[in-house]
Amino acid sequence: MEWVHRWRAMGVDCSVVCPIPLDALWIEASVAAYEQCFSRFRADSELRTLSRRGHGRVSADLQQLLLAALDIAQWSTGMVVPHLGAALEAIGYDRTYAAIAPNPAPIDVPLLPDWRAIRVRGREVTLPAGTQLDLNGVAKGWIAQRLAERCATPRVLVEIGGEVATIAPSDDPWCVAIDHPRADEPLAYVSLAIGTVATSSVCERRWQRGGGMVHHLVDPRTALPAVTDVATATVIASEGVYAEAAAKVCILLGAEHGIAWLNERALPGLIYTADQQVLTTPYLTAYLWEYDK
C-alpha cells in the first residue's frame, strides 16, 4: 500500500507517492516556496521583481533555475527560452489559467529581446531591456526533481503538472502511465527507477483570443502559439529540465521533425498526433513496462 498525497499548486495538480507517510505540510510548503520564487502571476514573486528591475541579486534557487533555463535555451537551439513573458501576456496568459476570459481583441505580437544577452554572474543577474522572464519551460520538471531528492527516501515519485521525477531501486522501478489525451486508457506505461518523464500538451490549456483558439505553448520564432500537428509529447531524461524542454521542442517542431530531433539526441520519447497517430523513438523500447514482472 503506497502513501499518496495530492494537492494543487502553481495552477496544476501535484502528487507525491511513497511507501511510507511523509510530511504533507512540509511538501506543500516546499512547493509553495518555489512558486513564490518563480511565479509569473504573483506581483511580489522574486521572478516578477527581477523582471521589473532588470537587474539584481537573486536567491540561490532562482539563480540555479535561471542557469538551467539558459543551458536549456542553448541546448534546444533557442526553441525553449526563458523570456517569453511578454508573448504569453500578449495572448492573454497574464493571469492563472482558470482566470483567463475570452478576448476578441487581436494579438499585439511583442518584439522579444535576445535571451543570449541575459547575464548571470554568481547571483547577480542583468536582463536586456524589455525582458519579461517566464521559466515555466523548465520550472515544473526542476521542482519535481528537487522535491524528490529532498524527500530523502529510497523510493518516491513526485508529479508536478505532468512532470514526473522518480527515485527507486533499479530492481523495483516505478510504473508511470503516459496519459492518452482523448481516452481513459494510457498511451503506454514506462518503467522508471531514477529519472524523469515529462509530457507537454496543447489539448488542455486553450482559450479564445483574437477570434480564434490559442494555447499556452509559444513558439519563440513567432512569439505566437505554436502551429503544430502534435497533440502531446512525452520524453524521458535523467534531468527534469531536459525532459520537459524536449517535450516542448517536439510540439514546436511538429511530429516528423520532433521525432527526428529526439532520435538525434538518443532520447526515449512518444508523440501522439492530432490525427491520432502514435510515434515513438527506438530508445523508448527499453523503458516500456513489462507486465509479467
Instruction: Output the domain CATH number for residue 127.
Output: 3.10.520.10
Cα 218 from Cα 177, distance rounded (Å) = 26
What's the confidence (pLDDT) of residue 215? 94
Which of 33-47, 201-215, 238-252 is predicted least confidently? Answer: 201-215
Helices (H), 128-211: 139-150
Q: What are phi and psi of 72, to 5 degrees?
A: -65, -40
DSSP count for the chain of H helices, then E strands: 7, 17
Entry field: residues in the chain? 293
Q: Is the pLDDT of residue 138 over 60?
A: yes
**pLDDT digits 0-9 by tens, 34-82:** 999 999 999 999 999 999 999 999 999 999 999 999 999 999 999 999 9
Query: What is the pLDDT averaged over residues 95-106?
Result: 89
Q: How confident is the model at residue 39, as a pLDDT?
A: 95
Give the amino acid at 217: L
Report yes or no on 292 lying in a domain: no
In this predicted model, which residue has the larger pLDDT, 261 or 11?
261
Cβ neighbours, 10 Å, residue 273: 18
Q: Cell for 44?
A: 511580489
- Tell me how many domains the chain contains: 1
Q: What is the mean pLDDT of residues 201-228?
A: 93
Q: DSSP class of residue 8?
A: E
Q: Label the pairing between strands 212-215 and 218-219.
A: unpaired
Q: How far is 201 from 181, CA to CA, in rounded Å?
A: 8
Question: Can you name the residues that pair with 10 across neighbouring β-strands?
Answer: none
Q: Give the model confidence (pLDDT) of 156-200 as tens digits.
A: 999 999 999 999 999 999 999 999 999 999 999 999 999 999 999
Residue 133 lies inside a defined structural domain of this protein:
yes
Could you tell me if residue 293 is inside a domain? no
22: nearest Cα among 38, 4, 42, 45 = 4
Q: Of all residues in the chain, what percent carry a pLDDT higher than 70?
A: 99
- pLDDT for 292 beyond 50: no
Residue 202, burial from CB neighbour count under 10 angstroms (0-12, 13-18, 19+): buried
Tell me the pLDDT of the chain averaged across its residues: 95
- For residue 293, what pLDDT is reported? 43
- Decide if 79 is inside a domain: yes
Q: Which domain holds residue 150?
A: 3-287
Q: Would the CA dihedral through 36, 251, 89, 112 be positive or negative?
A: positive
Question: CA 94 to CA 195: how far, in whole Å?
Answer: 32
